[in-house]
Amino acid sequence: MSPVKKRKITALAGGVGASKLLLGLYEVMEPAALSIIVNTGDDIELHGLKISPDLDIVTYTLAGIVDPAKGWGIRGETFHALKRLAGYGRPNWFNLGDRDLATHIHRSALLAEGKTLSQAAESIRIALGVKARILPMSNDPVPTVIESNEGPMHFQKYLVKRRAEPTVKNIRFAGAGSARPAPGVLEAISEAGRIIICPSNPLISIGPILAIPLVREQLRARKRDVLAVCPLVGGKSLKGPSDKMLAQQGHEATALGVAKLYADFTGTFVIDPVDRTQAAAISALGMKVAIVPTVMKTRSQKRNLARALLEL
Ligand code: FO1
């Protein structure tokens, strides 16, 4: 492998869970050598604006402006515009802050001018001074639809408005089968020395990216160099409802259960020491297993995991 290729790292990411590791990577490697392919299945249109939560979470985190307590939105936000919107009878269950709204207005204006989501993401990350490449998985809409006991609902409605309470019967990525990867996505996978699957929800954060056929195919072609970090530790998700959703979908809510979903394209599966008893069963799926602390509460834990992944 050429030294340039070896230096390049590509990550597949959802939002809050992924951003912890991405921040670690951003701080321990040359940031410009990092490319991040981001889930857009969570995107939603509200108040006539295109909102791309995972793109924004990743961008705000790397720009150092994310709200550290929530992991999404901008630090020190105010919500005057949302209150006024509610006064007009508009829905206010999705908390859009005043400064965050500027991002959505800018993105929506660019799209209305005929620019792509990739171009909008590029404009936002440059303006916020982020040096890593941030690529939406696709410029085609691939909305995640939760088929629940209360009927089909948009993913954000399930997660935020209904607080992940409905039972998930099925998860659909509408249009994924014919969606094209956004410009740069396939190259980012083929040209990287390592491809890291971040510890995001395998079903609704990494799942939509994998549902684009050319992306999964390209990952399979790079299997040896794909590392996946397990988002469950001791059968519990580090962030969000992954464990509950896996169980409702008939998967084991364990490291092994996640490994089974990733076995066709992952060369090395990274688990926390807590799950070491599952290493043999995961190896039997045809993957190497790396045992590394994956809980990232502090900045040094984020950097340590990032360094460990680069050194594996
Ligand atoms: N998550 C919430 O739990 N409640 C919210 O009101 C909310 C608003 C929001 C606004 C902008 C944004 O970029 C993200 C926001 N999120 C909110 C996070 C988001 O719903 C999810 O965490 C991601 O889509 C899953 O990665």
pLDDT tens for each residue of 141-173: 999 999 999 999 999 999 999 999 999 999 999
Q: Which helix (H) or strand (E) holds 151?
A: strand 151-154
> In this structure, which residue's CA is closest to atom 8 in ligand 1?
95
Where exactly are the structural domains of the chain? 3-43+131-311
CATH of the domain spanning 3-43+131-311: 3.40.50.10680
Whole-angstrom Cα Rg for the chain: 19
Atom of ligand 1 nearest to the CA of 53: 13
Give distance in angstroms: CA of 72 to centre of ligand 1: 6
pLDDT at 210: 98
**Residues 167-211 pLDDT 10s:** 999 999 999 999 999 999 999 999 999 999 999 999 999 999 999
Q: Which atom of ligand 1 is nearest to the CA of 39?
A: 26
Q: Which of 82, 94, 98, 204 to mutate to test the pocket of ligand 1 (most atoms within 8 A of CB)?
A: 94
pLDDT in tens, 229-258: 999 999 999 878 888 889 989 999 999 999
Centroid of ligand 1 to alpha carbon of 70 (angstroms): 9
Residue-wise pLDDT tens digits, 112-142: 999 999 999 999 999 999 999 999 999 999 9
- List, for residues 290-306, the tens digit of each pLDDT value: 999 999 999 999 999 99
Q: Which atom of ligand 1 is nearest to the CA of 42?
A: 24
Write out the DSSP string of 241-303. Answer: THHHHHHHTT--SSHHHHHHHHTTT-SEEEE-GGGGGGHHHHHTTT-EEEE------SHHHHH
Determine the Cα–Cα distance for residues 150 and 165; give it in Å rounded to an integer.
Answer: 10
**Which of ligand 1's atoms lies nearest the C-alpha of 93?**
6
Q: Which residue puts its alpha carbon closest to atom 18 of ligand 1? A: 72
Cβ-proximal residues to 166 (8 Å cutoff; 6+ apart), any chain = 146, 148, 149, 150, 153, 158
